[in-house]
């Protein structure tokens, strides 16, 4: 087994202790047993027998699992023993705040990829079966303990930690199967009255506070956030289809609290020196060389491999980053041309084969015209021009047939109207629609069922999402949640769709929820037939007055937003 295999265990054991190790250190068997014994020692055996039993069974499962790891590490599978020993004995404690949570996720993911329980001999199979049964029984006992209402809230949180950790390790050979139980466990945890009172009491202004102390309240908040963060990291590693967009919130409706992304929760965790348990936005390329960082982002898309593709208007190229924000490569767009003709990137989209489509605005004399380039990696597949008419083409997307859809503002006699134009793969214009319904379109996207969604702005700056059938027939419309949005061209909002779940994601520059500054608010809507429901929101770019230049959602449910800020050096793409 590869040395990094133990890092899955480190992630899971992170549920059971407040201490977070630096990822390059290796979890030793005696460390795990010692920490589990420490938890056990603190419990009252008479009142908490199920929780004690679950901890004992969990420890036995850990011992069996380490037995498998130790067998593989002795060289049975051609491992370099000397290097492994050096890795396992490394002790270099460091303040956890210096370790990037996203870096943790990256390392955990690589470790999980190496965690393969294959080619076990008979003794190894027996040890694995024993471990899985111990974890199964530990999970059942932990669930019983959680359901014991006489236990304190902190003990019930501890029971949830055992339940989740045991389920993940029970399915260590197929960890994706544990994700449903992880989500259910968070649902159960967030439904506890004292958990809800702790968050609402700490975050709500005024004099109404829960009937228990601040210290206990903040202990509960920190423990719940720790649980959410570890499950978020596990889902980032092994999730398959947007689980990150459906993690449970605390409470219901507009007052629901997002423990991972709420800036108020992050402030509390920061005061407790536990900021690693919130999810802080990552700036794409922030650790890369200056040439590989974004200057003026324009258009953003994701492919099936989790790569983020962003146009850079300043560098006149397209930059590609991996799922952890690290620069991969770039290519110029347009690839070559007349230096006397000014061109710029307008938008980016991807198809189901991971080809990138780049919408280019070309200024030719007094009128602009538009071209679409299709790239496979860094090579040009094709290029075609859009209709040459007096208009402004704003955004682009692709439908299920890989046809190109663009929204354009067209000058019609004395007024401007918005339309959607459709082109086939060869660049032939097919038809247009929307002129009877659209006023000032901002962006468009395609849902998982093929319907086309256009984000439109009214004269009063309110935002409406128009839903069209794949043939262009108008189906229905709904209003975006009212925001205090600056009403100017710079405040352009953006829209994307996570197709696997039919979730619509809207980014709107607006005032923050506390009314103390500006932000970009990300709102997620669940689209079902002709109904919609707001399911969560996230505030990014706090205290900044910016414009969005595109939004995308990765296959796993991470959201990336391109942000324009006229302040020098502050335009970027952020990833959460």
Give yes or no for a contact between 574 and 541, defined as CB atoms under 8 angstroms apart. yes
98 pLDDT higher than 70: no
Read off the DSSP letter of residue 353: T
Confidence band for 106, pLDDT divided at 50, 70 and 90: very low
Give yes or no for a contact between 465 and 480, defined as CB atoms under 8 angstroms apart. yes
Q: What is the mean pLDDT of residues 320-345?
A: 82
Which of the pair, 446 or 237, is modelled with greater confidence? 446
In the chain, what are the domain boundaries?
Answer: 5-76+120-277, 282-575
Architecture of domain 282-575: 6 Propeller (2.120)
Distance CA 231, CA 446 (A): 30
Distance CA 258, CA 523 (A): 12
190 pLDDT higher than 90: yes
Cβ-based neighbour number of residue 246 at 10 Å: 17
Residue 501 pLDDT = 82
Question: Which among 549, 416, 438 has a CA at the least distance from the CA of 492?
Answer: 549
Which of the pair, 214 or 178, is modelled with greater confidence? 178
Residue 505 pLDDT = 94
Question: Which among 225, 239, 318 has a CA at the least distance from the CA of 573?
Answer: 318
15 pLDDT higher than 80: no
Which of the pair, 239 or 446, is modelled with greater confidence? 446
Q: What is the mean pLDDT of residues 308-326?
A: 91
* Neighbour-count burial of 119, counting CB atoms closer than 10 A to its CB (0-12 exposed, 13-18 middle, 19+ buried): exposed
* Helix (H/G/I), strand (E/B), else coil: 225: helix
Confidence band for 34, pLDDT divided at 50, 70 and 90: low
Residue 87 pLDDT = 37
Written as six digits, the tokens of 62 are 């850990």
Distance CA 382, CA 357 (A): 10
Q: pLDDT (tens digit, 9 = 90+) per residue, 364-417?
A: 666 778 999 999 877 888 899 998 887 888 899 999 999 999 999 887 766 778
Confidence band for 497, pLDDT divided at 50, 70 and 90: very high
Residue 445 pLDDT = 96
328 pLDDT higher than 90: yes
Distance CA 483, CA 478 (A): 15
Q: What is the mean pLDDT of residues 271-278?
A: 88
Residue 95 pLDDT = 33
Q: pLDDT (tens digit, 9 = 90+) per residue, 518-573?
A: 788 899 998 888 888 888 888 887 666 778 899 999 888 889 999 887 665 577 88
Give yes or no for a contact between 223 and 169, defined as CB atoms under 8 angstroms apart. no
Residue 307 pLDDT = 93
SS (H, E, C) 473-484: CEEEEEECCCCC
Residue 390 pLDDT = 77
Confidence band for 103, pLDDT divided at 50, 70 and 90: very low
Tokens 């980016």 locate to 348
Residue 326 pLDDT = 92
């Amino acid at each position: 087994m590869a040395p990094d295999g133990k890092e899955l265990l480190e992630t899971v054991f992170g549920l059971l202790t407040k201490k977070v190790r630096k990822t390059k250190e290796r979890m030793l068997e005696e460390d795990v047993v010692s920490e589990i014994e420490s938890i056990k020692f603190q419990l009252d055996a008479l009142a908490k027998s199920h929780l004690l039993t679950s901890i004992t069974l969990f420890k036995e499962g850990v011992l069996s699992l380490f037995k498998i790891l130790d067998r593989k590490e002795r060289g049975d599978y051609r491992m370099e023993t000397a290097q492994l020993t050096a890795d396992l004995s490394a002790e270099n404690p460091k303040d956890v705040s210096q370790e990037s949570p996203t870096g943790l996720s990256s390392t955990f993911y690589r470790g999980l990829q190496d965690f393969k329980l294959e080619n076990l001999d008979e003794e190894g199979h027996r040890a694995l079966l024993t471990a899985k049964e111990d974890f199964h029984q530990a999970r059942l006992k932990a669930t019983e303990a959680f359901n014991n209402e006489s236990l304190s809230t902190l003990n019930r949180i501890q029971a949830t930690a055992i339940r989740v950790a045991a389920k993940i390790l029970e399915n260590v050979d197929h960890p994706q199967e544990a994700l449903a139980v992880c989500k259910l466990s968070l649902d159960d945890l967030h439904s506890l009255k004292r958990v809800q009172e702790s968050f609402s009491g700490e975050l709500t202004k005024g004099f109404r506070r829960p009937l228990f102390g601040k210290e206990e309240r903040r202990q509960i908040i920190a423990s719940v956030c720790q649980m959410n963060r570890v499950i978020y990291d596990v889902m980032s590693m092994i999730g398959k289809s947007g689980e990150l967009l459906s993690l449970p919130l605390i409470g219901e409706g507009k007052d629901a609290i997002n423990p991972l992304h709420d800036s108020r929760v992050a402030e509390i965790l920061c005061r407790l020196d536990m900021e690693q348990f919130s999810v802080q936005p990552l700036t794409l390329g922030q650790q890369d060389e200056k040439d590989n960082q974004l200057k003026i982002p324009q258009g953003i898309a994701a492919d099936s491999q989790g790569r983020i593709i962003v146009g850079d208007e300043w560098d006149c190229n397209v930059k590609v980053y991996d799922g952890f924000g690290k620069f991969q490569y770039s290519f110029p767009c347009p690839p070559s041309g007349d230096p006397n003709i000014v061109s710029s990137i307008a938008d980016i989209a991807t198809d189901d084969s991971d080809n990138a489509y780049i919408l280019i605005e070309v200024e030719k004399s007094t009128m602009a015209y538009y071209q679409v380039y299709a790239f496979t990696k860094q090579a040009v597949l094709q290029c075609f021009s859009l209709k040459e008419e007096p208009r402004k083409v704003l955004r682009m997307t692709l439908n299920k047939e890989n046809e190109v859809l663009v929204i354009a503002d067209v000058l019609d006699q004395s007024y401007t109207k918005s339309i959607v134009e459709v082109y086939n793969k060869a660049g032939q214009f097919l038809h247009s629609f929307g002129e009877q319904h659209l006023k000032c379109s901002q962006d468009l996207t395609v849902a998982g069922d093929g319907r086309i969604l256009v984000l439109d702005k009214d004269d009063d700056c309110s935002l409406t999402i128009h839903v069209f059938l794949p043939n262009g027939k108008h189906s229905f419309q709904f209003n975006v949640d009212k925001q205090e949005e600056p009403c100017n061209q710079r405040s352009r909002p953006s829209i994307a769709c996570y197709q696997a779940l039919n979730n619509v994601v809207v980014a709107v520059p607006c005032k923050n929820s506390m009314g103390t500054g500006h932000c970009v608010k990300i709102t997620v809507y669940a689209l079902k037939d002709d109904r919609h429901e707001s399911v969560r929101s996230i505030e990014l770019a706090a205290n900044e007055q910016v414009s969005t230049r595109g939004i995308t959602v990765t296959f796993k449910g991470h959201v990336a937003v391109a942000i324009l800020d006229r302040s020098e050096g502050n335009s970027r793409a952020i990833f959460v």
